[in-house]
C-alpha cells in the first residue's frame, strides 16, 4: 500500500453474486453454532483473517477494541518499511514496529512482515544510491531486519510491487531494478538465510485478473523461482478494488493458478470501495474465492474502520467511522462460517503413473504426478536415467482432452494431442539411476498422459 493514490488499471466489470450464495450467507447468520468474530470464523478452515495496524492509532480504544476482538493476524501498515526501520544508513529503529509486533504476540495474533524491499518509501539516503552500493545496502537491510524479527514473523513480504502496470509485463524501472535483474532473487535468498522459519512472499497490486500482463509476468517469475529452487513460499495479492477496478470474474482462477505452482496465496491488503449490499456482495465473492482454493491461507483487510483507510473517501472497509459493523462485515463472517474445513468449490485429485520404454543402456523412464482440479491441471514429469547416464532425453505425452498453457524446464512441441518434450541445457545430463523433472500447466483434463521416455 502506498501513502499516495496509485494508478489503478481497468479490469472488466463482473456479474454480481449468485442469489443462492447470498441466501446461504443469510441462513448462516442464524446459526447459533457459527463463530462470531472474523478470526475465529477463519480458523475453522485453518485460515487467518487479519488487518493492517498503525502504531499511531493504538491509543484509540474503539480501534483497539475491534482489533483485539476480531482479528488473528496483524500487518504493520508503515512501521516495518524501509524508511521506518533504517532512517539513516546502518542505524536501525524498531520502536513503533515493536509496539505492533509485541501487542499482537501478547494476544496470540500472528504477524505478517511488510515489507523488506520496495522501490517506494525508501529512506532518503537509499534513494540517492545506485549500482553495487545500493544492492549491498538493500541486502544488508533485508538481512538486519529479518534477523531482528527472526522467529516472530509468520510471513514476510520480501519484495513489494516490482512489476510495471500496463500491458508490457515488464519489471518496474526502479533504482533497485537497475542494480540487476536478479535483485528480487537475491532479496529472497537473503531473507531465507536471515529467518529460515518465516514464509517468504512476493506482494503486488493489479495482479488479480488472470488475463492481465502484469499477473502473467509475476506468475512467470514465481514459476521460474520454483523451478530453480529460489526460496519463495507465497504470493500476496493486494486486491484493492473500486468501480474502475472491480473484482474480476476470474479472481478465483488467479488464486488457484498461483497455488498450483506450489506456493501459498494470501489476500494481503483487501479493501473494496462502495457501500450497502453491493459492497457486501463483493466482499462475499472475494472471501468465497479464497475459501475455494486450499492454498489460499488467509485474508488481510487494509485497515479497520473506514476512517482508518488510505482510501477513506471510498468507505472501503468492514467497519464504519464509528466502529459499527457494516453489511460487508456480515457477508464476510457468514462466508467464513459457511466455508468449512477445506475447498468449497474446487476438487483436487492427485495420481501418479509410471511408464517405462524398456531396459538397457541409454534408456530412461518417465513418471507423472498429476494435480487435477475442475478447470485444469498441473503435471510434473520425472525423467529417470536407466543403467547409463543420459546426455539428452525426449518425453512424449498424450493430451486427449486438455491443452498446455504453460511449461517449464523443457522444450515443447505441440499443445494438445501428442506433445513432445526435450531437455533444456541445464537438465540434459542425468547420471545413471538419477532423475530430473519438468512440468506444465493446462486447461481441461490431464488424465491419460502416459509419458514415454527415450534417450536422445
Residues labelled as active-site residues: 269
CA-nearest of 9, 15, 2 to 242 is 9
Grid coordinates in use for 330?
A: 456480515
Measured at the alpha carbon of residue 168, what is the angle toward residues 167 and 174, in degrees to the nearest 5?
Answer: 120
For residues 63 and 80, what is the distance between their CA atoms, to the nearest angstrom?
Answer: 20
Measured at the alpha carbon of residue 181, what is the angle toward residues 179 and 185, in degrees to the nearest 5?
Answer: 100
Q: Which DSSP state fits 148?
A: H
Query: In angstroms, how far is the first alpha carbon of the chain from the final one?
Result: 51
Q: Please give the C-alpha separations between residue 111 and each of 46, 146, 159, 203, in angstroms, as whole numbers.
A: 16, 13, 17, 15
Q: Which DSSP state fits 373?
A: -
Grid coordinates in use for 378?
A: 498441473
Measured at the alpha carbon of residue 115, what is the angle toward residues 109 and 119, in degrees to the nearest 5?
Answer: 165
Residues near 151 by beta carbon (within 8 Å), at least 6 away in sequence: 195, 197
Residues near 313 by beta carbon (within 8 Å), at least 6 away in sequence: none
CB 205 within 8 A of CB 238: yes
What distance separates the 2 farthest-apart alpha carbons in the chain? 76
Measured at the alpha carbon of residue 218, what is the angle toward residues 213 and 223, in degrees to the nearest 5?
Answer: 120
Grid coordinates in use for 343?
A: 475447498
429 burial type by CB count under 10 A (0-12 exposed, 13-18 middle, 19+ buried): middle
Other beta carbons within 10 angstroms of residue 312's beta carbon come to 14
CB 316 within 8 A of CB 306: yes
Amino acid at each position: 500500500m502506498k501513502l499516495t493514490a496509485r494508478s489503478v488499471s481497468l479490469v472488466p466489470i463482473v456479474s454480481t453474486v449468485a442469489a443462492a450464495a447470498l441466501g446461504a450467507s443469510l441462513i448462516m447468520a442464524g446459526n447459533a453454532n457459527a463463530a462470531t468474530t472474523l478470526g475465529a470464523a477463519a480458523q475453522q478452515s485453518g485460515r487467518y483473517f487479519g488487518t493492517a495496524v498503525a502504531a499511531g492509532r493504538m491509543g484509540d480504544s474503539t480501534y483497539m477494541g475491534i482489533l483485539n476482538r476480531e482479528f488473528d493476524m496483524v500487518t504493520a501498515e508503515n512501521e516495518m518499511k524501509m524508511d521506518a526501520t533504517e532512517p539513516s544508513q546502518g542505524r536501525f529503529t524498531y520502536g513503533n514496529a515493536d509496539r505492533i509486533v509485541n501487542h499482537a504476540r501478547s494476544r496470540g495474533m500472528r504477524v505478517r512482515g511488510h515489507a523488506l524491499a520496495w522501490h517506494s518509501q525508501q529512506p532518503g539516503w537509499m534513494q540517492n544510491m545506485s549500482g553495487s552500493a545500493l544492492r549491498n545496502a538493500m541486502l544488508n537491510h533485508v538481512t538486519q531486519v529479518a534477523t531482528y524479527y527472526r522467529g516472530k514473523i509468520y510471513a514476510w513480504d520480501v519484495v513489494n510491487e516490482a512489476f510495471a502496470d500496463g500491458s508490457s509485463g515488464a519489471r518496474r524501472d526502479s533504482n533497485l531494478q537497475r542494480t540487476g535483474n536478479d535483485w528480487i532473487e537475491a532479496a529472497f535468498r537473503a531473507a531465507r538465510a536471515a529467518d529460515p522459519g518465516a514464509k517468504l512472499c512476493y506482494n503486488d497490486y493489479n495482479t488479480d485478473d488472470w488475463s492481465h500482463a502484469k499477473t502473467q509476468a509475476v506468475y512467470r517469475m514465481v514459476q521460474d523461482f520454483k523451478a530453480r529452487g529460489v526460496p519463495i513460499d507465497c504470493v500476496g495479492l493486494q486486491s484493492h478494488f473500486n468501480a474502475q477496478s472491480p473484482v474480476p470474474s476470474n479472481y478465483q482462477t488467479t488464486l488457484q493458478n498461483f497455488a498450483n505452482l506450489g506456493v501459498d496465496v494470501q489476500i494481503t491488503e483487501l479493501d473494496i470501495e462502495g457501500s450497502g449490499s453491493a459492497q457486501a456482495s463483493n466482499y462475499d465473492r472475494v472471501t468465497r474465492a479464497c475459501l475455494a482454493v486450499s492454498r489460499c491461507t488467509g485474508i488481510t483487510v487494509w485497515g479497520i474502520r473506514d476512517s482508518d483507510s488510505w482510501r477513506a473517501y471510498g468507505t472501503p472497509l468492514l467497519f464504519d467511522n464509528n466502529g459499527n459493523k457494516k453489511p460487508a462485515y456480515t457477508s464476510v463472517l457468514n462466508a467464513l462460517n459457511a466455508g468449512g474445513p477445506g475447498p468449497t468449490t474446487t476438487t483436487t485429485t492427485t495420481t501418479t503413473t509410471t511408464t517405462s520404454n524398456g531396459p538397457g543402456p541409454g534408456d530412461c523412464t518417465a513418471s507423472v504426478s498429476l494435480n487435477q482440479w475442475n478447470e485444469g491441471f498441473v503435471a510434473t514429469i520425472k525423467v529417470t536415467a536407466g543403467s547409463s547416464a543420459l546426455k539428452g532425453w525426449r518425453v512424449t505425452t498424450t493430451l486427449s482432452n486438455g491443452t498446455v498453457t504453460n511449461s517449464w524446464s523443457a522444450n515443447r512441441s505441440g499443445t494438445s494431442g501428442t506433445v513432445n518434450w526435450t531437455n533444456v541445457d541445464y537438465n540434459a545430463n542425468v547420471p545413471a539411476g538419477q532423475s530430473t523433472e519438468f512440468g506444465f500447466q493446462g486447461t481441461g483434463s490431464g488424465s491419460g498422459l502416459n509419458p514415454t521416455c527415450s534417450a536422445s
